Every structure is written in structure tokens, then in C-alpha cells.
């Protein structure tokens, strides 16, 4: 959550009537004066699902159907989306929510802490490619005040190393920026990834 909050920044909350919840509100967005920043990671999967339905992620638009939370890989993890197409083609897609920026303010970065889970997901995607399937990681950049995306080498050097290994093996990487409008929120612009 670094660089996602500051004194006096406006925020947007959602309210739930679920009596089983400990608190009725969820923090959804903050605003730094330049951009709305979505700080609710679960929204990334919702955005990607909507984008897949609308064929908005061009490199993945040829797949005709998808399933969620399918077991896959060597450790039988659950993939965010298994895309399926004609002739048995499939692509395993892992979604990552990105809200943090680096010290320069130019790059959205992931992860925002050491992520053993993120490292495992990269290994699982590499395993899928080694077994002959397609695999991809899709980074959802949940702010509009940056120029590019990169792995957070300074936070999790192992993740950054694995990302390069996965890229060299054939795992595809995509970064998409959101609209920035919390009331018309969707994936919008593909961003350059600095490897």
C-alpha cells in the first residue's frame, strides 16, 4: 500500500449489508491529486473477466471460453482463468493487481512485498509451458499516473529473476492500465513492460 495513501487524500468506500462481515465497509479507491488508485485487489479479477467477455485483451481475444479457479500445474494451484479455444487450444492466465509505484513515479511495480505465492505462480506458469500449453500473467495497473510496468526487483529479487526466466521460457506477460474513473472502471490501455 506504499504510495497509495496520504494525509487528506479523498477515498471511496463500498458498503455491504452482509451481517457476517466484521466491518460493513470496504476501502476501494484513494486519490493522490493525479489519479484514482484502486486499492481493492479483488477488483482486478473482476476487471479481467469483464475484459475477456468483451474481447478487450487483444492477445487473448481468440479464445472462445474461460473457466475460473481451475486446478493446474505441478503443485495443483488454482489458476485465475483457463482460456479455451478452437482445436483444444488453451492458455493459463494468472492475474495480478498492481497499485504501487516506484521511487521515480514512472513505473507501476509488482510485488509490493516479498511474494512466495507470486513466485509459486510463476513456477506453475513455467510448468504449463514446459508441458506444451500457453501461459500468461496479466498485470492490472490500478492507477493512471505512471508510464510503464516492471517487476519490483528492489522488493522481491527472486520474483524478478523468475519473471525473466518465465519470459525466456515462453510465458507471456501483459500489463493493462485501467480507465482511472471509479464509476466507469475497466481495463483500457496496454502498457509497456520493462524486463
Q: What digits encode the pLDDT tens for the residues 80-131? A: 999 999 888 999 999 999 999 999 999 999 999 999 999 999 999 999 999 9
Q: How sure is the predictor about 73, in pLDDT bands with cuts at 50, 70 and 90?
A: confident
Would you call the peptide bond into 111 cis, given omega within 30 degrees of 0 as the criterion? yes
Q: Which three cell numbers stand for residue 48?
A: 479481467
Average pLDDT over residues 125-154: 96
The class level of CATH for 39-194 reads alpha beta
Q: How sure is the predictor about 74, in pLDDT bands with cuts at 50, 70 and 90?
A: confident
pLDDT surpassing 80 at residue 2: no
pLDDT surpassing 90 at residue 11: yes
Residue 182's pLDDT is 92
When the pLDDT of each residue in the chain is averaged and rounded to a whole number, the result is 94
- CA gap 180, 185 in Å, rounded: 7
Amino acid at each position: 500500500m506504499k504510495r497509495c495513501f496520504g494525509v487528506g487524500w479523498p477515498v471511496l468506500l463500498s458498503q455491504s449489508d452482509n451481517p457476517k462481515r466484521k466491518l460493513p465497509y470496504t476501502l476501494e479507491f484513494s486519490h493522490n491529486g493525479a489519479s484514482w488508485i484502486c486499492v481493492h485487489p479483488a477488483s482486478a479479477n473482476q476487471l479481467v473477466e469483464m475484459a475477456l467477455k468483451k474481447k478487450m485483451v487483444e492477445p487473448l481475444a481468440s479464445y472462445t471460453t474461460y473457466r475460473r479457479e481451475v486446478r493446474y500445474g505441478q503443485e495443483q494451484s488454482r489458476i485465475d482463468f483457463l482460456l479455451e479455444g478452437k482445436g483444444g487450444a488453451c492458455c493459463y492466465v494468472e492475474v495480478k493487481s498492481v497499485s504501487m509505484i516506484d521511487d521515480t513515479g514512472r513505473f507501476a511495480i509488482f510485488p509490493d512485498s516479498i511474494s512466495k505465492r507470486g513466485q509459486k505462480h510463476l513456477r506453475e506458469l513455467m510448468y504449463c509451458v514446459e508441458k506444451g500449453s500457453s501461459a500468461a500473467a496479466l498485470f492490472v495497473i490500478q492507477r493512471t499516473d505512471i508510464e510503464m510496468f516492471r517487476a519490483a526487483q528492489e522488493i522481491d529479487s527472486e520474483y524478478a529473476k523468475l519473471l525473466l526466466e518465465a519470459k525466456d521460457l515462453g510465458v507471456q506477460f501483459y500489463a493493462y492500465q485501467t480507465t482511472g474513473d471509479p464509476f466507469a472502471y475497466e481495463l483500457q490501455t496496454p502498457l509497456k513492460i520493462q524486463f
